Amino acid sequence: MVECARASEEIRRSAEGGVPILWVVDPPDLAALERHEGLFDDFVRLPYTSPELDARLRRLHRAADAEGERLRVGRLEIDAARYRASVDGRPLKLTYMEFELLRYLAARPGRIHTREAILRGVWGYDYYGGMRTVDVHVRRLRAKLGQEHARMIETVRGVGYGLADRA
C-alpha cells in the first residue's frame, strides 16, 4: 500500500487538473484506506470481478469525458472538465467520490434522490459498502461546504438527499 500511496502522490503532483486514480486493495489492507484518503478516487478489493472493475473504470472515464460541463446552482459552481468545485468563489477540496456526488446532485437541483438512486447514479452499481456509504459521503461533503453552505444538501428523512435549487 505504501507503493500505491507514493505513486498516487506523484500522479497528483504532476497531473494537470487531476487524474482519477483507482486502487486495487487486498482485504487485509482495507482498514488502512482511511489513512490514504485523497490519494485515490475509488478502489476495488481483491478478488474483484471483471464486471465490477469495468463498472468502476467506466464511471471514472465517464467523469473524465465530461469536458466543458459547468454546473451552477446558486452560489455553487462545478467545473466537471477540471474536477473543480467552488462555493462563493472558495475552492472546495473534494475527493473524487465527493465531487461525483456533488455533481450528481447539482445536475438535478431541487429533486430528492433515494440512497439507492444515488448509489446507482454515482457509484454505478450496487455498492458493496451499502447505503451508509451515501450518508458518510454526504456528511463529509457538508463538512467541506462549511456551516454556512451545508444546508445546500437537503435531507428527507427515510428517503434520501437533494441539492436545494436556491443553494
- For cell 451515501, name the residue: 134
Chain Cα centroid distance, residue 147: 20
Residues 77 and 150 in one domain: yes
For 108-127, the pLDDT digits (tens) are 888 899 998 898 888 876 55
Q: Which of 92, 101, 108, 94 minimizes the C-alpha distance to 133? A: 101
DSSP element (H, E) containing 25 = strand 22-25
Q: Is the peptide bond before 47 cis (omega within 30 degrees of 0)?
A: yes
Domain count across the chain: 2
88 or 121: which carries more pLDDT confidence? 88
- pLDDT for 145 beyond 90: yes
pLDDT score recorded for residue 140: 96
- Enclosing domain of residue 11: 2-64
Q: Among residues 37, 64, 91, which one ends one of the domains?
A: 64
pLDDT score recorded for residue 42: 82
Q: Among residues 11, 41, 64, which one ends one of the domains?
A: 64
Residues 60 and 91 in one domain: no
Whole-model pTM? 0.60
pLDDT score recorded for residue 78: 93
Residues 158 and 110 in one domain: yes
- Over range 117-146, report the average pLDDT: 84
Residues 99 and 128 in one domain: yes
Residues 107 and 159 in one domain: yes
Residues 130-166 as b or e (16 or more Cβ within 10 Å = b): eeebbeebbebbbebbeeebeebbbeeeeebbbbeee
Residues 158 and 77 in one domain: yes
Residue 81, CA atoms < 13 Å, CB-side half-sphere: 4
Residues 44 and 91 in one domain: no
State which of 10-14, 53-57, 75-79 shows the largest mean pLDDT.
Answer: 75-79
- pLDDT for 66 beyond 90: no
- pLDDT for 96 beyond 50: yes
**Strand 84-87 versus strand 90-91 pairing type:** antiparallel
Residues 17 and 52 in one domain: yes
pLDDT confidence bin for 67, thresholds 50/70/90: very low
* Region of poorest pLDDT, from 66-80, 88-102, 121-135: 121-135
Residues 145 and 125 in one domain: yes
Residues 81 and 148 in one domain: yes
* Region of poorest pLDDT, from 57-61, 71-75, 81-85: 57-61
Tell me what percent of the residues of the chain surpass a pLDDT of 70: 87
Gap between the Cα atoms of 26 and 4, Å rounded: 12
For residues 137 and 145, the answer to whether their CB atoms sit within 8 Å is no
